[in-house]
Amino acid sequence: MWDVWIVTGVNENLGSGHFQRMAALAWRLRHRYCMRVCMRVMPCVGTIPHEIQEFIQNDVDGAQLILRDMRDSSIEEIAWLKTKGKVCVIDDRGMGRKIADFRIEILPHYVKTDDIIEGNFLYGFNFMRSLELIDAETVEKNIDIAIYGGNKRTKELLISLIPENARYCLVGGEKIFLGEKGIYERAENINYAFSLCASKVALSHFGIFLYEASLTKCHVDSINPTDYHSRLSDCAQNRIRITNFGTWNSLNVNEAQKTIRLQIQRPISCEIFPSQILSTALGSIDAFIEGLFGML
């Protein structure tokens, strides 16, 4: 029997954050706590990091604890999972959460419930692993803006808000692009975490990227596709300092550009110590794992 079976997914609808934080959790459970852990990633659109591929197990006979992290569940799905073991749902507002054995919320939500456990934040696998690979003791903040767009259209819209002559980086997956004046090219010598450590401002929709950027002492700005994401950005201010520009439909372009220019001129920090950032991120994931022990 497995100790922990993680059920998650990644596609355009779910985004990558659920998978990223569960991959980081699986890695830590196995390599720090020597636990028997596996993952089901369905749907799976995109490339799974090679370090995580060994965890993939789409069905199991049983596990002491099943962690489901892929938004709203149905009663039928959770009932099926409970035939395999105790079930803990994460950030789940679907009907299935009512019959889960445990409910954890990591991200904020504007509708409060009294039947949940608040979990420590989980940073993503790509963020954690790329932090480990930074060999510099300090990283200077010499990039004005880091952008995560999710798709090509959103990326282009975000770039349109960048002040003239600002230096920016586009992040997503394993590729990092550096740009200026609308022209950008792939950067071969920096990774994801380095790009955040080196940036003064981070611009994206609500999601794990903004939390990781906040940890690396970026000004954090959100522009969201829906009112739902915008409300979550407002709720997130109990954990991170975030400037929410609302949705694309309600965006005041001039005010957003003015704010971004001021943030570039007044960075939160001039340099970052990657080892300290990694230590904080690992401390948060370990605190989350401590909470899981009582469920096993």
pLDDT value at 186 more than 70: yes
Phi, psi dihedral angles at 124 (to 5 degrees):
-75, 160
Question: What does the longest C-alpha to C-alpha distance in the chain come to?
Answer: 58
Q: Report the SS3 class of residue 115.
A: coil
Asked if 201 and 259 count as a contact pair (C-beta separation under 8 A), the reply is no
Give the strands of the sheet with 183-186, arranged side by side.
183-186, 175-180, 167-172, 143-147, 199-204, 219-224, 242-247
Please give the domain boundaries of the chain with CATH numbers for all domains: 2-125+280-293 (3.40.50), 138-272 (3.40.50)
Q: Report the SS3 class of residue 43.
A: strand
Angle at 48 between CA 46 and CA 236, to 5 degrees: 80
What's residue 234's pLDDT?
Answer: 92
Distances (CA, A) of 185 to 64, 79, 115, 149, 178: 47, 49, 48, 16, 6
d(CA 249, CA 5): 40
Confidence of residue 46 (pLDDT cuts 50, 70, 90): confident
Q: Report the SS3 class of residue 184.
A: strand
HSE-CB of 39 using CA atoms within 13 angstroms:
29
Task: For residues 221-240, give the mean pLDDT.
Answer: 92
Confidence of residue 112 (pLDDT cuts 50, 70, 90): low
Phi, psi dihedral angles at 201 (to 5 degrees):
-130, 145
Question: pTM here?
Answer: 0.93
Tell me 94's DSSP state. Answer: S
Task: For residues 233-239, give the mean pLDDT.
Answer: 89
Q: Report the SS3 class of residue 102.
A: strand
What's residue 110's pLDDT?
Answer: 66
What's residue 188's pLDDT?
Answer: 80
Q: Report the SS3 class of residue 119.
A: coil
Considering only CA atoms, which of 84, 82, 40 is closest in space to residue 62?
Answer: 84
The first and second tokens of residue 95, run together, are 């009907």
